[in-house]
A = this chain, B = another copy of it.
């Protein structure tokens, strides 16, 4: 194989693998009445509650305009709530409701098991190898961006 071609082929393969695994996550979330974006919101608020819509949008790498609609729909479902920020009256602080907290606590272990099952198709050594290569690429991409 042409050396230059391996990198391109790796990207093509990564796209397909990413798509395959993500589809399985989408399917699991659908069983619980969630979209992927809604799962991401629940997961992030589970680990970091009381952040603003803008902060959540930054972490999820989406726009604040998208966040307005996402939170609207999830508030309607009763999974999250907006509370006024006393320090800054422009902001809304986001919290899980009891219903939202139960939901993420129920789903998270299933999700982790699902991913473990899929990644365990590779040997422990291969998983570690893959992790290290991806981490290195991630760090190099970050460095490249800073230039």
Q: Please list the residues of chain A having a beta carbon within 8 angstroms of any beta carbon in chain B.
A: 1, 3-4, 6-11, 13-21, 61, 112, 115-116, 118-122, 124, 126-131, 133-138, 140-141, 144
A134 CA / B10 CA spacing, docked (Å): 7
Interface class of chain A by DSSP: helix
Question: Chain B: which residue is nearest A22 at the CB level?
Answer: B15
Chain B nearest CB: distance from A28 CB in Å?
13
**Contact between chains at A140 and B116 (CB < 8 Å):** no
**Contact between chains at A6 and B127 (CB < 8 Å):** yes
**Contact between chains at A17 and B119 (CB < 8 Å):** no
Contacts of A130 in B (CB 8 A): 10, 130, 133-134, 137
A1 CA / B136 CA spacing, docked (Å): 17
Question: Out of B1, B15, B127, B133, which one reaches A7, CB within 8 Å?
Answer: B127
12 pairs, CB–CB < 8 Å, chain A vs chain B:
A6-B127, A11-B115, A13-B131, A14-B18, A20-B138, A119-B137, A121-B141, A121-B144, A122-B136, A129-B133, A130-B134, A133-B133
